[in-house]
Chains A and B, each alone.
Chain A
Amino acid sequence: MKSRSYLLISFTVITGIIFILRLFYLQIISDKYKKEADEISIKKKFTFPERGYIYDRNGKLLVANQTSYDVMIIPREVKELDTVQFCKLLKITKKDFIKKYKKAKRYSSRLASVFLKQLAKDDYAFLQEKMYKFNGFYIQKRSIRNYPINSAANVLGYISEVNEQLIKKDKYYQQGELIGFSGVEKQYEKDLRGIKGVKRFQKDKFNKIIGSYKNGTLDTLPVLGKDLTLTLDIDLQKYGEKLMANKRGAIVALEPATGEILALVTAPSYNPNLMVGRKRSKYSTLLIKDTINKPTFDRGLKAQYAPGSPFKIVNALIGLQEGAITTKSTFLCKGGYRYGKRAHAFMKCHCGTYGNVNFERAIYKSCNTFFSNTYRRIIEKQSEPKKGMDIWSAHVKSFGLGDYLGVDLPVGNKGRIPDGDFYNRFYPSFKWRAVSTISNAIGQGQVETTPIQLANMTAAVANRGYYYTPHIVKKIKGKKLDTKFTTRKLTSIDAVYFEPVIEGMLQVFEKGTGKYSKVKGLDICGKTGTVQNYIKRNGKKIALADHSIFIAFAPKDNPKIALAVFIENGGYGSRYAAPISSLMIEKYLFGKTQKPYVEKRMFTDSLLQKEYRKILITNDTIEKFE
């Protein structure tokens, strides 16, 4: 073969190689073409399964679904119509009609959009018969949530249309679909929603469906949403909400033996039915914009308060465990505790003893002097304050304080339990000692907890040294509960040290700060708390009425309920928090109360509202209120 022949031969071979390389890139390396092809040529149609129902622990229906009917419009297909009749049927004005029509047209003239949301049932029945007269309009069935009982709004949460960010994050969702936005609806979204079914169709270049895709072999059927049973006792929850009327604060009640949340009350709250249907958009902005009452803020899970005196229980237990004190220890109380080098460094005590205070009296009378000495001994038992602080901190944290509890609800807070490193940062140029942190002894200072953490701490005491992670879901149909809720968590305190402390807590109702809330024939163990609090207004620190706090569990042996109650600016612990606690316990254990007059006072007391108005009257710059 003549050598000049090789020019065309090599051109042919090289061209072939270039083509194959290019095909290799198009068909094997790049994956964008596959995606683009699917987008262009395949239309997906979804079938949505019914969302799971939600029940309380006794099987009462809390959340169900209802059918709603939307009038849909495809502007391009709308022909001449009798607008007067149409408007009359829909109960809208002609002006509304024009506005809605223009809005739909702006969105798309080819695609369907909602013309009128959620018709009343009677209107639907009537309209359905006349619909044939109106080209371009049709009625679409939708499923929306329904709350038969007006309660527990923040626990249940609500569902809403997915936003752009969510669609980007989770490819499952598409524009216009519903997703749980808060509470149980958000936490158990995947169980509740089920899985939507998909049918794929082949489109042509005119966007017309020309047949099924791969004969439907890739199509899937929808999977029904799972029903949930909550640990909540809805009667107790509702009762708690009634007790919290006109107040701000939270009640968290747990079953100590299981960690199940019996009631999670936050006040003020709202009616969950407001977040459904046509009224929704109006109310949701109202609720979210209410920065004074914060009805969507779950105080039970998120509000961080100084725990106050109930925290003395933990300090008493650590004192016994570390051998800083014994049940025989006494301290001299002269109406207060003096500490540090300066004369004015003085913590008042209201135990009213003026003499030697023993262990049990220290608890039921809430003696600040006794616990300040105890705390100081715990820290100073170690060679240096940092070491003592770390040991104390580890004990406290073993009660589930100072970190997220792991509750199965989407919001929460860590609280704050300081340790040695914390104070090294807190006092950067100061050699701190036990007395520098002495307020921790009585649950003030740098210690902060959320109501649910405090309730859980109470449950750990009731159980004599262990707890289960609090949780809101009892049963998911066809699925096992997460093992983290059935695993016992031990505190670092030996069981023997609990009895004397519990005895002291029992005496709170017999002789101590809670005696006015005693319930005949029931051994309740509790502890009051009264917490000072301040706001900053125009840079000035202003003292507000104290927060009223109470923790309790009952009965003393074999406890069935443990709870924590926070009433913001409610004054002494014995004034609001203690009676509410005992009423809650009575309601749960017996279904009724011995003291209807106390109950009535709690339902109607509007004294607190005056207090709040005082705080808020010139609230131009409230930086810290919680």
Chain B
Amino acid sequence: MRNSNSNIIGIDWKLVILYLLLIFIGWINIYSASKTEVHYEILDFSAKYGKQLLWIGFSFFLIIIILFIDTEFYKQFAGIFYLISMLSLVGLFIFGKKINGATSWYSIGNFSLQPTEFAKIAVSLGIAKLIGDKQFDLRIVKNQLKAILILIIPALLIILQPDPGSALVYLTFFFVFYREGLPKYYIILAILLLITTILVIKYGYMYIEIGALLLFITFIIYAYNYKKYFLRKYWIYYIGFYLATAIFIFSTHFIFTNLLPQRHVDRINLALNLVKDTKGKGYNTKQSEIAIGSGGFFGKGYLEGTQTKGDFVPEQHTDYIFSTVGEEWGFLGSTIVIVLFISFILRIINVAELQKSKFSRIYGYSIASIFFIHFTINIGMVIGIIPTIGIPLPFFSYGGSSLWAFTILLFIFIRLDANKSNEW
């Protein structure tokens, strides 16, 4: 599939080019979103776009270091990285700085770093190290629990910050587990649970409980008539399954109405169209939709977006950066950006599948899943089809931590890939 011509010093140039394109398009949109009448010099480092340019410069420095380090280093020290990363998350509760209601930052002078972003690298390496072992079999329940533990620790620490949006990212590792042999019915179960949860929130738990009971009775009648043997043999499992479902439905309802903070409940209700927005809880999303919707087919032109100029979309340079693309570059530009992201993710999967080393493959698959979930949740939120969950759009959203984390995540993989001919 890959020809040797594109393999100049062994690295995958297609991925590098896609990376550079996304970084470039991302930056020009940050420039538009954060440009004011006062700041217009490109190299004005007091302005957001100027700082982002610095972060990009530093990313290139990181890339060079990563490419010079031997691949064995990442494999051997995966556990250590994981440990350091988890400690950095714990350390937040002691040394962390509160910004926007979450204690997610280490602050040194003017400079702030978000360890949550870097934890994704450590977890990806950790998962690759664990599952990458030749004897490791994901069909064994004990192994499944081990793998999940690697995810649960950072997820819980991040939820406590509190930053539940970033914790949600770890759900994406189910794609990795499935790829590496997790039995199929887990996926079916996960999908069923997701659908049931949405139905419970949307229609109230009573209806769903009654619906589940009716389905169960229908199944029993059917089994009694045609599969009497199975019924006699497995009736205890059937009843157990039904009871588990009933309890799950009720506990979903309980968590949603009693445990979940009100602002999350509001966001979910808004996304499911359950309530009309009266108090402006969906203000951000509405402004974002207006900006994107007013872009039309060709967009209003670069630096010509009225909503972007007037600063109507809150957090436009960070989480809502895609609304700038939508307004100024229109349907055409937005589609191109989406196609670029999809090509980028598919390319990572493609390259990952070609790895000879299990470690490299799992790591590659992990980062593809991470890019996928960030892409889906962020753009889904900005165009108003997913509840408001504040996670950055890779390479687009303003911010040093996320840019560096995604860069390191990607280039460790490129480094691993470049070395594959030496493996086996």
Interface residues of B in 289-310 (CB under 8 A from A): 289-297, 304, 306-307, 309-310
Contact with A along B85-98 (1 / 0, CB 8 A): 00000000000000
Residue from A30, A204, A213 within 8 A of B293 (CB atoms): A30
Q: Chain B 357-396, CB within 8 Å of chain A: the 1/0 string?
A: 0000000010011001001100110011100000000000
- The reply to whether A41 and B312 contact each other, CB–CB distance below 8 Å, is yes
A13 part of interface (Cβ distance < 8 Å) = yes
Measured CB to CB, the nearest residue on chain B to A213 is B306
CB < 8 Å neighbour of A37 from B187, B291, B341, B350? B291
> A7-B179, A8-B175, A8-B349 in contact; A23/B342 too (CB < 8 A)?
no
| One of B5-13, B153-161, B265-273, B331-339 at the interface | B331-339
- Across-interface contacts of B307 in A (CB, < 8 A): 37, 40-41
- A214 within 8 Å of B (CB atoms): yes
Decide if B372 touches A11 in the complex (CB within 8 Å).
Answer: yes
Size of the B side of the interface (Cβ < 8 Å), in residues, is 46
Q: For residue A31, which residue of chain B has the nearest CB? A: B293
Chain A residues positioned under 8 Å from B372 (CB to CB)? 8, 11-12, 15
A425 located at the interface, meaning its Cβ lies under 8 Å from any Cβ of chain B in the complex: no
Tell me how far the C-beta of A133 lies from the nearest C-beta in chain B, rounded to whole angstroms. Answer: 34
Residues of B within 8 A of A24 (CB): 331
Find out whether the CB atom of A26 lies under 8 angstroms from the CB atom of B326.
yes
Nearest-CB residue, chain A, relative to B327 = A37
Q: Collect the chain B residues with CB atoms within 8 Å of residue A2's CB.
A: 179, 353
A15 and B37 CA atoms in complex are apart in Å by 38
CA distance A211 to B304 in the complex (A): 12
Closest Cβ of chain B to A238, distance in Å, is 56
Q: How many residues on A have C-beta within 8 angstroms of the other chain's C-beta atoms? A: 39
Decide if B330 is an interface residue (CB 8 Å cutoff): yes
Find residues 29-72 in chain A having any chain B CB closer than 8 Å to their own CB.
Answer: 30, 32-34, 36-38, 40-42
A12 interface neighbour in B306, B334, B346, Cβ under 8 Å: B346
A622 partner residues in chain B, CB cutoff 8 A: none
Q: Which residues of B contact A9 (CB under 8 A)?
A: 346, 349
Residue from B297, B365, B379 within 8 A of A19 (CB atoms):
B379
**A22: CB under 8 A from chain B?**
yes
Cβ–Cβ contact A28 & B297, under 8 A: yes
Q: Is A16 an interface residue (CB 8 A)?
A: yes
In whole angstroms, what is the CA distance A214 to B309 when docked? 12
Out of B292, B312, B368, which one reaches A40, CB within 8 Å? B312
Name the residue on A nearest B313 (C-beta). A205
Let me know if A27 and B179 touch, CB within 8 A: no
The answer for the CA separation of A1 and B179 in the assembled complex, in Å, is: 11
**Min CB distance, A206 to chain B, in Å?**
9
Q: Name the residue of chain A whose CB is nearest to the CB of B371.
A: A12
Q: How far is the CA of A325 from the CA of B299 in the complex (A)?
A: 80
Q: Tell me if A226 is interfacial: C-beta within 8 Å of chain B.
A: no
Interface membership of A175, Cβ < 8 A: no
Query: What chain B residues lie within 8 Å of A38 (beta carbons)?
Result: 294, 306
**In the assembled complex, which residues on chain B have CB atoms less than 8 Å from the CB atom of A19?**
338, 379-380, 383
CA distance A24 to B383 in the complex (A): 11
- In the complex, chain B residues whose CB is within 8 Å of the CB of A11: 175, 372
Contact of B326 among A23, A211, A214 (CB under 8 A): A23
Known: A4-B178, A203-B310, A214-B304. A15 touches B331 (CB 8 A): no
Report chain B residues within 8 Å CB of A213. 306
Please report the C-alpha to C-alpha distance between residue A41 and residue B307 in the assembled complex, in whole angstroms. 6
User: Which residues of A have CB within 8 Å of B294?
Assistant: 33-34, 36-38
Q: Is A223 in the interface zone, CB < 8 Å from B?
A: no
Residues of chain B within 8 A of A202, CB atoms compared: 306, 309-310
CA distance A38 to B310 in the complex (A): 11
What is the CA–CA distance of A38 and B369 in the complex, to the nearest angstrom?
Answer: 39
B346 to chain A, nearest CB (A): 6
Contact A205 to B385, CB < 8 A, known contacts A7-B179, A33-B292, A210-B37 = no
Bound CA–CA A214/B304 (angstroms):
8
User: Among residues 345 to 359 in chain B, which have CB atoms less than 8 Å away from a CB atom of chain A?
Assistant: 345-346, 349-350, 353
Residues of B within 8 A of A204 (CB): 309-312
A605 to B248, CA, bound (A): 99
CB distance from B304 to the nearest CB of A (A): 7
For chain A, what secondary structure do more than half of its interface residues adopt (helix, strand, loop), or is it mixed?
A: helix
Contact A41 B383 (CB under 8 A): no
A8-B292 in contact (CB<8A) = no
For the complex, give the distance between the alpha carbons of A37 and B310 in Å.
10
Report Cα–Cα, A40/B313, bound state, in Å.
Answer: 11
Q: Within the complex, which residue of B310, B331, B335, B353 is in contact with A5, where a contact is CB–CB below 8 Å?
A: B353
How far is it, in angstroms, between the C-alpha of A213 and the C-alpha of B310 when the chains are bound? 11
**Residue pair B293, A210 in contact (C-beta under 8 Å):** no
* Interface residue A343 (Cβ < 8 Å from any Cβ of B): no
CB distance from B15 to the nearest CB of A (A): 15
Query: For residue B331, which residues in chain A have a CB less than 8 angstroms away from its CB?
Result: 23-24, 27-28
Chain B residue numbers with a CB within 8 Å of A214 are 304
* CB pair A36 B345 closer than 8 Å: no
Picked from B179, B330, B376, the residue with its CB within 8 Å of the CB of A4 is B179
- A23 contacts which chain B residues (CB < 8 A)? 292, 326, 331, 334-335, 338, 383
Closest to B1 in A: A1
Cα–Cα, bound, A316→B380 (Å): 85
Using A8-B368, A33-B294, A41-B307 as known contacts, say yes or no to A26 and B383 having CB atoms under 8 A apart: yes
Q: Give complex CA distance A74, B382 in Å.
A: 38
Partner of B342, one of A12, A30, A42, A205: A12
Assembled-state Cα–Cα distance A22/B380 (Å): 9
* Residues of the B chain whose Cβ atoms lie less than 8 Å from the Cβ of A607: none
Q: For residues 348 through 400 of chain A, which have their beta carbon under 8 Å from a beta carbon of chain B?
A: none
Q: B172's closest neighbor in chain A, by CB?
A: A8
Chain B residues positioned under 8 Å from A28 (CB to CB): 296-297, 331
Closest to A4 in B: B179
CA distance A205 to B307 in the complex (A): 9
Interface string of A258-291 (1 = CB under 8 A from B): 0000000000000000000000000000000000
| Contact residues in A for B306 (Cβ distance below 8 Å) | 37-38, 41-42, 202, 213
Q: Which residues of chain B are within 8 angstroms of A4 by Cβ–Cβ distance?
A: 178-179
- For residue B341, which residues in chain A have a CB less than 8 angstroms away from its CB? 16
A5 touches B179 (CB 8 A): yes
A12 to B343 alpha-carbon distance, docked (Å) = 9
Shortest distance from the beta carbon of B106 to any chain A beta carbon, whole Å: 31
Contact between A16 and B179, CB atoms less than 8 A apart: no
- Closest Cβ of chain A to B183, distance in Å, is 11
Q: Which residues of B contact A589 (CB under 8 A)?
A: none
For A12, list chain B residues within 8 Å (CB): 342, 345-346, 349, 372
Q: How far is the CB of A116 from chain B (nearest CB, A)?
A: 35
Confirm or deny: A20 has a beta carbon within 8 angstroms of a beta carbon on chain B: yes
Whether A27 pairs with B311 at a CB distance below 8 angstroms is: no
A2 to B358, CA, bound (A): 13
Q: Which of A1, A7, A33 contacts B175 (CB 8 A)?
A: A7
Closest to A37 in B: B294
B342 touches A13 (CB 8 A): yes
Does A345 reach chain B (CB closer than 8 Å)?
no
Q: Please, which residues of chain A bring their CB within 8 A of the CB of B37? A: 210-211
Verify if A292 is at the interface (C-beta below 8 Å from B): no
Chain A nearest CB, measured from B284 CB (Å) = 12
Contacts of B380 in A (CB 8 A): 15, 19
User: A32 — which chain B residues lie within 8 A by C-beta?
Assistant: 293
Q: A33-B292, A37-B307, A204-B311 are in contact. Are A22 and B383 (CB under 8 A)?
A: yes
Q: Which 6 A-B pairs have the closest CB atoms?
A: A33-B293, A37-B294, A41-B306, A26-B293, A27-B331, A204-B310
Give B contacts to A, CB under 8 Å.
37, 175, 178-179, 187, 289-297, 304, 306-307, 309-312, 326, 330-331, 334-335, 338-339, 341-342, 345-346, 349-350, 353, 365, 368-369, 372, 375-376, 379-380, 383-385
A-B contact pairs, 12 of them (CB 8 A): A12-B346, A15-B380, A16-B338, A19-B383, A26-B289, A27-B296, A27-B330, A37-B290, A37-B307, A38-B306, A40-B307, A204-B310
Other A-B contacts than A8-B175, A12-B346, A28-B331, 6 sampled, CB-CB below 8 A, are A15-B376, A15-B380, A36-B290, A40-B310, A211-B37, A211-B309
